[in-house]
Structure formats: C-alpha cells, structure tokens
Amino acid sequence: MPETPLRVAMVGHGFMGAAHSQAFRVAPRFFDLPLAPVMSTLVGRNVAATKAAAEKWGWAKTASDWRDVVNDPDIDLIDICSPGSTHVEIAVAALEAGKHVLCEKPLANTVAEAEQMAAAAEKAAAKGVFAMVGFTYRRVPAITFARDLVQAGRLGEIRRVQANYLQDWLVDEDGPMTWRLDKAKAGSGSLGDIGAHAIDAVQFITGQTLDSVSGLLHTFVTERPLLDESATKSGSIAGVAGSECGQVTVDDSALFTARLSGGAVGQFEATRFATGRKNAFRIEISGSEGALAFDLERENELEFYDAAAPANELGFKRILVTEPEHPYFAAWWPTGHTIGYEHGFSHQLVDLVNDLAAARQPHPSFAEGLQVQRVLDAVERSSDDGSAWTSTN
C-alpha cells in the first residue's frame, strides 16, 4: 500500500453508497494506486442507520451533517452519493473548502445548479482541487474497449446510434413512493436516472455530443402509496406502504431522437416500465466500416462487425472482453474469468486516484456532467412544448 493517504468522507449510504464503499475496500487490493484511500467518515441523517452502514462497510466513524466533513481538515475527498437535490450545495461547499469531489450522476437537478457546480469546479481546478461526476458505465471494460475501437477508426464514419436502458421495478402501480419519484429531490425520473447513463455512454464511445433532440416524456402512474413513516422509523419494519398517496412528479418513460455533433443520428429510450427487463442497457453503433453492440446483461461481451471482412465471413463477432490486454482486466482474475457490476466502481476509483495523484483533471469532469444536464433539459423542454427539435446549447 502507498504511504500517502487519501482520506475520504462519503455522504449517503444507500444503493450507490454501498457500491462506492465496495470500491474503496476492493480497488486498493487489486490495483497499484499512488494514494491509499482511507474510509474515514460516513455521513447520513439517520444516526442509527448510518452507524449500521459504517460498521457493515468499514467506515471509521460517522457524522450526521455533511458540513462537518467539509470543514474537517483531515478529509481530502468528499464522495456525494445523496439525492440530486443535495448535490449543488455539498459539492460547491466542498470545492470551496479545498476538498476534491466525486459526485454521483446526474450532476444536478437543473441546468442552473449544474452550471454553478461546473463553475466552482473550474475555479477549484486552478488551485489543484478537482471534481469528477460518476458516470460509472464508462469504466465497464467492454464499453471502454468499444470507445477504443471507435477511436482507432475501426467503425469508420459513425452514422447511427441506438441506446435503450430498460428496467421494470416500477411496473407495480401499488409500489410505494420513493425519493426517485419526487421531482424536487430527483430532478427527473427515468430520463435522469438511467437515460443520463445512455447519453454519457454514447458520447463517450463516439466522441460526439448530442447537439439537438426531439423528446417525449410520459408518466403512467401518477400517484403511489406513501410509506408509513412510523413503521419505517421504528427500525423493525422497512418500506411499509400506508393508506395515503403521494403525487408522482417525474417521468416513467423517456423517448427521444438526437442529432450528434459529428453527423450521426440516434434514438434513445429510458424507462422503468419495461415489463420483464431488469437492467437491460443496450447500445448499438453503426459506421461506414463496421458496427458494435453492447448489452449490460452480457457485461463481459462486445459484438463487433467488420465490414471489410470477406463476404463469406461477414457477421457480428462475439468478443469476450476478459483478456489482460482489455481495459482494466490485467489487475483481476486469470484470462477468461468474468467480472460484474460492482467492478466499474473500482475502475472509477482507480482512474480518479491516479488523476488526483498526478494533479490532472479526472473525467468525466463537472463540465461534462453539465453538458449531459443540458441534454436532459432539452429533452424535457422538447416534450413539454412539442418541439420537433430542441438545441442542447
């Protein structure tokens, strides 16, 4: 282990908090890192739940107010895993206090908030303090390898993209309200929650940005049972639906077409109402000289089509992305052995730590997160006013 520590405080300990905690525990044991991540403080509003999470994942101590860690001179990095409505205040305060920041996606709930965060990050970077947004799917080896193939010119001129992110965890209309269904906390529904991943992954692979969009957002279930707070707070029962209902204020389904900066066109879908689809994230990219396809449900595979092959050999080839020559894989298991969802978070941490140690800007930056936020905003505006095309600028 390196001698120089990177002392971390993480805000939030739900789904993403668990994934990030796993990365802090595992990455330093498989990768040679120039800094040693130290899991110093876990922050959460519920004292008992935060202490339980800290004990489970190995955080040294807890706090109930994020301001405590922002002002703590013994903290180097603030990892923000709390709802989108909290991002701007925590991130800006942390950067102004001289702390590096890792912030979960989407960067914020609005373009104005994202602009404030990006400006704070730019100002901090001039002083050697850096910020990164957590679009973790960039670190899936097959997606990184797809980007490498495009950069090497193997697909030629990119002409079309299709990206679908399909889940079904909200299909039951009696399922209870969560913060993800409240626009004030989440910013948007399936569009920002999973559609943001599709946008960033396509832009990452192709090297092109989505410049204009035409979108449709729809909400299938407009109200849901509220959780019984008394039962939930007791600690003995979790997730109990009460008799009262709350209003769903976000989209259940997002569909949009896009024009990309390099001339390609694309179609995108993000929904949590695709019955039978658990976490189906599929990307297909077609070019003048080849094509590729990725499916998260087959995470260690990439399909590749080489249009230059002889006619009697044409067809998509399945590449098992598990070799030491593939991105990130040399640090893991013997050749051919697969990895899973949680490994992308370890790779994200590896890249972040290497960049911080080298005093260089990690990617995706807050500026890149702002660009994705502008795409989300343009899709929503297009849907609201029925515009055929809405600029993302």
- Identify the three-state secondary structure at position 240: coil
Question: What is the reported pLDDT for 232?
Answer: 45
Confidence at residue 229, expressed as pLDDT on a 0 to 100 scale: 60
The one-letter amino acid at 110: T
List the CATH code of the domain at 138-341+372-385.
Answer: 3.30.360.10
Q: What is the pLDDT of residues 73-91, one digit of tens each?
A: 999 999 999 999 999 999 9
Amino acid letter, residue 231:
A
Mean pLDDT over 32-58 rounds to 97
- Provide the pLDDT for residue 324: 97
How confident is the prediction for the chain on average, in pLDDT? 95
Report the CATH fold assignment for 5-136. Rossmann fold (3.40.50)
Between helix 343-357 and helix 15-30 the angle, nearest 10°, is 60
Q: How far apart are CA 201 and CA 335, in angstroms?
A: 26
Tell me: the pLDDT tens digits for 93-138? 999 999 999 999 999 999 999 999 999 999 999 999 999 999 999 9
pLDDT band at 230 (very low <50, low <70, confident <90, very high): low
352 Cβ contact list (under 8 Å, min separation 6) = 102, 132, 362
Q: Kindly state the DSSP code that residue 381 receives in the 8-state scheme.
A: H
Residue 2 has a pLDDT of 73
* pTM score, whole prediction: 0.94
pLDDT at 344 over 90: yes
Q: List the chain domain ranges.
A: 5-136, 138-341+372-385
Q: Which long-range contacts (CB under 8 A, 24 or more apart) does 379-385 make?
A: 379/191, 379/195, 379/213, 379/215, 379/217, 379/254, 379/256, 380/188, 380/191, 380/215, 380/217, 382/213, 382/214, 382/215, 382/256, 383/215, 383/216, 383/217, 383/256
Identify the residue with better confidence: 242 or 152. 152
pLDDT at 321 over 70: yes
Token pair of 330, please?
Answer: 């040399």
Q: How far is CA 237 from the centre of its chain?
A: 30
